[in-house]
Amino acid sequence: MAIIGHLTANGWYSGNASDFNCDLALDKKAVLSFVQESQPIEWEKLKSYYREDTENKFVHRLFKELDLRGMLDVIRHGITDSGVKFKLAYFKPDSKLNPDTLKQYNYNRLYVTRQVCFSIKNNKSIDLLLSLNGLPVATIELKNHFTGQRVDEAMEQYRTSRDPKELLFQFKKRALAHFTVDPDEVYFTTKLEGSGTRFFPFNKGFNNGGGNPPTKDYTAYRAAYFWGDMLSVDSWLEIIGRFMHLQKDEYLVDGKKYYKETLLFPRYHQLDAVRKLTAHTKVRGPGKRYLIQHSAGSGKSNSIAWLAYRLSSLYNEADRKVFDSIIVITDRNVLDQQLQNTIYQFEHKTGVVQRIDADSKQLADAINSGVSIIITTLQKFPFALKYLTEIPNRNYAVIIDEAHSSQGGEASRKMTEALVGKNVTLEESENVEGEIEKDIEDEDDYIRETILKRGPQKNISLFAFTATPKAKTLEVFGNKDAERKPKPFHLYSMRQAIDEGFILDVLRNYTTYETYYQFCKTVEEDPELNKRKAAKAIGRFASLHPTNLAQKTEVMVEHFRHCHR
């Protein structure tokens, strides 16, 4: 089998299916071997407490911790038994400054095991089980075109014959991800929910669309990057240690608080973007500009969080830290809490992320005190850029999130007031329309002009995320190709997002709808107005009027109710 052959030839170990304990849903032998070999002093302490029953007591404690905290937290932060702390895995250190951490990292054992029976009720088996030091972290169902089966059949297999109640498949308690793989494509899910299980593509994309590019070697598989690159020892451990994230959302229903947990596994483009950006920065150092063009539906918030975290702990080849602080420019409040939660899971530290919600002095204090990740708004961007250039011997990364809530800010408020007002002239509406257009157009210009005024700064790297960059934005942030045309450093196109089902293609399914308006003159004056601006002001006024909105909504709902139910 190509996957097993490649993995075992590149650092993985071939597991024994008979060693998997269905009651515990782990490989007890491999777990104990790792702990005893990597932490002999701690193990002797535990033996002095439990004596001859140490192994069973330890495994029982591990079982309880997995049930209480989940696999990801246990792997990252270990367990404590009778006052003795144990690690269940070691992750690659950020630098080579401490040789002991590299030695610990090499104690890890990754196992790939074929046809693992997972149930005490029947003899059903999973095609491949991936384990870290005896702990199951992923399952894989394989399909082959020669047997007439593709990833779709593997998805159906997970939905219909992989019981989510089985311990191996219980959400967050054992296997963290479940993959479907055929020679051409890869999909994954982090939660099995029977027929409601949703799978996400883990494909590279081809010609700005979905799927994977053909290989140069006709004997190779399009999906070979999955086991050749993603499942390499360093890559797989990095994904588990630095990317996977348990997101907890709080929401209210009838005044009661409810919580929803989602286990996030990076999609291919997110992983690829963060890795390429950090690798380029590690070699080139600070002072560069990067444009990340990721469509709506790309998961930019998570990409920004992962990038900020990776940059904050990035060291160059000389083992010097590349950046002193990371500054995230965004107007989205949700990104603040998301960054806090994401990084806390990695570090178990508070104070790593600070939001600047007061004045420029608060921003300056955060920069001076060396806060690792600082979140601030677009309005403070010019001050931040100016202040950073004036601090000698310090380097910074500035991540710019595309404008959201700030677009049209004050002018949008004025338009809302105009719509609900009683005595609003067309001239006033036209003026407000102009303000809105100027605000929206100036969002990108505001950033560009601020950067151009300061010029290139050797101590500041800029990372700009946007879905639809203007030509001017490409000129400022883009990388020149062979024809000297500016291109984004990384691209996840709208076409790929549509192909992968993350956004809808409105051009495929739209219905034309003609609307007629009649306006009455309510003022004594008869002013002459610019025809184009007046027409746009009328159009905006009419389209945003509550009566018109209510009528349009009724038409759409009734059309959907009668034609699509």
For residue 430, the model assigns a pLDDT of: 47
pTM for the model stands at 0.86
Give residue 301's Cα distance to chain centre.
6
23-27, 267-271, 287-291: range with lowest mean pLDDT? 287-291
CB < 8 Å & 24+ apart, contacts of 381-384: 381/329, 381/446, 381/447, 381/450, 382/450, 384/327, 384/329
Average pLDDT over residues 334-342: 72
First and final C-alpha spacing in the chain:
46
User: Using CA atoms, how far apart are residues 4 and 55, in angstroms rounded to an integer?
Assistant: 30
For residue 523, the model assigns a pLDDT of: 67
218: burial class by Cβ within 10 Å (0-12, 13-18, 19+)?
Answer: exposed
Write out pLDDT tens, residues 160-206.
999 999 999 999 999 999 999 999 999 999 999 999 999 999 999 99
Average pLDDT over residues 441-463: 71
Helix or strand (DSSP H, E) at 224: helix 224-225
**Which tokens go with 254?**
């009838």
Kindly report the three-state secondary structure assignment for every residue of 177-208.
Answer: EEEEECCCCEEEECCCCHHHCCCEECCCCECC
Write out pLDDT tens, residues 474-514.
988 888 888 889 999 999 999 999 999 999 888 787 777 77
In order of 25, 67, 239, 344, the CA distances from 170 in angstroms are 10, 10, 20, 24
pLDDT at 29 over 90: yes
Q: Tell me the pLDDT band of 424, cut-offs 50, 70 and 90.
A: very low
For residue 408, the model assigns a pLDDT of: 39
User: Using CA atoms, how far apart are residues 490 and 269, in angstroms rounded to an integer?
Assistant: 9
Longest dimension (CA), the chain: 100
Question: What single-letter DSSP state applies at residue 40?
Answer: H
Question: Domain-by-domain residue ranges, the chain?
Answer: 2-243, 266-405+458-499
> In terms of residues, how long is the chain?
565
Fold of 266-405+458-499: Rossmann fold (3.40.50)
Mean of all residue pLDDT scores within the chain: 87
Q: DSSP per residue over 293-359, as a string?
A: EE-TTS-HHHHHHHHHHHHHT-B-TTS-BS-SEEEEE-S-HHHHHHHHHHHHHHH--SSSEEE--S-
